[in-house]
A and B are shown apart, each in its own frame.
Chain A
Amino acid sequence: MSDIQDVTAEVPARRQLRTKPFSLADRLFYGITKSASSISVILVAAILLFLLSQSFATFQTQGFDFITGSQWNNAKGHEVFQIGPMLWGSVLISILGIIGGVPMAIAAAYFIEFMAPKPIAKVATVLVDLLAAMPSIVIGLWGLYVLTPVVAHWGSLLYGLHHVSMGPVNFDIPIFAMSDGSVPSTFSGSPFIAGWIVAVMIVPIITSVTREIFSQMDRDLINSALALGGSRSSVFMRVILPTASGGVTGGVLLGLGRALGETVAIFYVLNLVSDINWFNILQSKGGSVASLVLQKFGEGTPNEIKALMAAGLVLFVLTLLVNWLAAVIVNRAQPWRKI
Chain B
Amino acid sequence: MSQLDLTALPRPTKQPWQVRNPRNTWLVAGASVVPMFLAVVITLLTNIDATLATLLVFLPLQLIASIGVGQFIFGKKGRGDAILVIFTVFFSTLVGVLLVSVMFSVVVDGLKAMSPQFFGQNNHYISSTTSLEYGGVGHAILGTVLIVGLTTLFTIPLGILIAIYLTETRGRMRPTVRTLVQAISGLPSVVSGLFIYAFLIAPSFSAHGLTQQAGWVGSIALFPLMLPTVARIAEEALRLVPQELRNGAYALGAPAFKAFWQVTLPAAKSGLITAALLGVARIIGETAPLILTTAPSNDTNLNPFVGQIATLPTYLYGYINQVQATSQQRAWGAALVILILVFVLFTLARVLGSAKSTKAKKRK
Beyond known contacts A111-B92, A220-B7: 15 more, CB 8 A cutoff: A30-B171, A40-B227, A54-B204, A107-B90, A110-B88, A111-B89, A127-B99, A130-B342, A144-B320, A221-B1, A227-B12, A227-B16, A264-B313, A302-B204, A320-B186
What range describes how many residues of B lie at the interface? 35 or more
Interface residues of B in 168-215 (CB under 8 A from A): 168-171, 173-174, 176-177, 180-191, 194-195, 197-199, 202-204
A203 contacts chain B at the CB level, 8 A cutoff: yes
A316 contacts chain B at the CB level, 8 A cutoff: yes
A134 contacts chain B at the CB level, 8 A cutoff: yes
A91 contacts chain B at the CB level, 8 A cutoff: no
Interface residues of A in 261-275 (CB under 8 A from B): 261-264, 268
- Measured between alpha carbons, how far is A320 from B191 in the docked complex, in Å? 13
- Measured between alpha carbons, how far is A308 from B237 in the docked complex, in Å? 38
Interface residues of B in 299-351 (CB under 8 A from A): 313, 316-317, 320-321, 328, 331-332, 335, 338-339, 342-343, 346, 350
- Measured between alpha carbons, how far is A184 from B16 in the docked complex, in Å? 53
Contact, CB under 8 Å: A227 / B9: yes
Interface residues of B in 1-55 (CB under 8 A from A): 1-2, 4, 6-7, 9, 11-12, 15-17, 49, 51-52
- Measured between alpha carbons, how far is A56 from B273 in the docked complex, in Å? 42
- Chain B residue, CB-CB nearest to A36: B161
Question: Which residue of B101, B190, B256, B350 has the most chain A CB atoms within 10 A of its CB atom?
Answer: B190
Count: A-B pairs, CB below 8 Å:
310
- Measured between alpha carbons, how far is A153 from B55 in the docked complex, in Å? 14
- Give the shortest distance, in Å, between B144 (CB) and chain A (any CB): 11
B241 contacts chain A at the CB level, 8 A cutoff: no
27 A-B pairs with C-beta separation under 8 A: A30-B171, A30-B256, A33-B171, A37-B173, A38-B173, A40-B180, A41-B176, A104-B92, A106-B91, A107-B95, A108-B95, A110-B88, A115-B89, A124-B96, A133-B282, A135-B286, A141-B106, A147-B98, A154-B51, A220-B6, A229-B16, A229-B77, A264-B288, A308-B194, A316-B191, A319-B188, A320-B186
Contact, CB under 8 Å: B190 / A312: yes
- Chain A residue, CB-CB nearest to B184: A44
A293 contacts chain B at the CB level, 8 A cutoff: yes
- Measured between alpha carbons, how far is A131 from B198 in the docked complex, in Å? 32
Contact, CB under 8 Å: B186 / A135: no
Tell me which of A54, A157, A234, A319 contacts B198 (CB under 8 A): A54
B118 contacts chain A at the CB level, 8 A cutoff: no
Residues of A within 8 A of B (CB): 19, 21, 23, 25-26, 28-30, 32-34, 36-41, 43-44, 47, 50-51, 54, 103-108, 110-112, 115, 124, 126-131, 133-142, 144-147, 153-154, 157, 200, 203-204, 207, 218, 220-221, 223-224, 226-234, 236, 239, 242-243, 257, 260-264, 268, 290, 293-294, 297, 300, 302, 305-306, 308-309, 312-313, 315-316, 319-320, 322-324, 327, 339
- Give the shortest distance, in Å, between A302 (CB) and chain B (any CB): 6
B245 contacts chain A at the CB level, 8 A cutoff: no
Give a binary string over B75-92; 1 marks a CB under 8 Å from any A CB, 0 the rest. 001101101110111111
Q: Report chain B residues within 8 Å CB of A21.
A: 255-256
Contact, CB under 8 Å: A25 / B316: no
B268 contacts chain A at the CB level, 8 A cutoff: no
Tell me which of A140, A233, A290 contacts B320 (CB under 8 A): A140
Contact, CB under 8 Å: A40 / B184: yes
- Measured between alpha carbons, how far is A297 from B199 in the docked complex, in Å? 13
Contact, CB under 8 Å: A231 / B78: yes
B102 contacts chain A at the CB level, 8 A cutoff: yes
Contact, CB under 8 Å: A32 / B106: no
Q: Report chain B residues within 8 Å CB of A54.
A: 198, 204
Q: Report chain B residues within 8 Å CB of A129.
A: 346
Q: Report chain A residues within 8 Å CB of B52.
A: 157
- Measured between alpha carbons, how far is A17 from B169 in the docked complex, in Å? 16
Contact, CB under 8 Å: B102 / A309: no
B162 contacts chain A at the CB level, 8 A cutoff: yes
B226 contacts chain A at the CB level, 8 A cutoff: no
Contact, CB under 8 Å: B288 / A223: no
Tell me which of A26, A51, A231, A263 contacts B195 (CB under 8 A): A51
Tell me which of A25, A154, A323 contacts B183 (CB under 8 A): A323
Contact, CB under 8 Å: A142 / B190: no
Q: Report chain A residues within 8 Å CB of B360.
A: none
Contact, CB under 8 Å: A157 / B51: yes
Contact, CB under 8 Å: A233 / B84: yes
**Contact status of A207 and B190, CB under 8 A, knowing A224-B4, A323-B182:** no
**Contact status of A261 and B198, CB under 8 A, knowing A38-B173, A142-B105, A239-B1:** no
Interface residues of B in 259-282 (CB under 8 A from A): 260, 278, 281-282
Q: Report chain A residues within 8 Å CB of B217.
A: none
Contact, CB under 8 Å: B189 / A261: yes
B355 contacts chain A at the CB level, 8 A cutoff: no
Tell me which of B15, B180, B287, B346 contacts A223 (CB under 8 A): B15
- Give the shortest distance, in Å, between B166 (CB) and chain A (any CB): 7
- Measured between alpha carbons, how far is A220 from B95 in the docked complex, in Å? 29
Q: Report chain B residues within 8 Å CB of A262.
A: 188
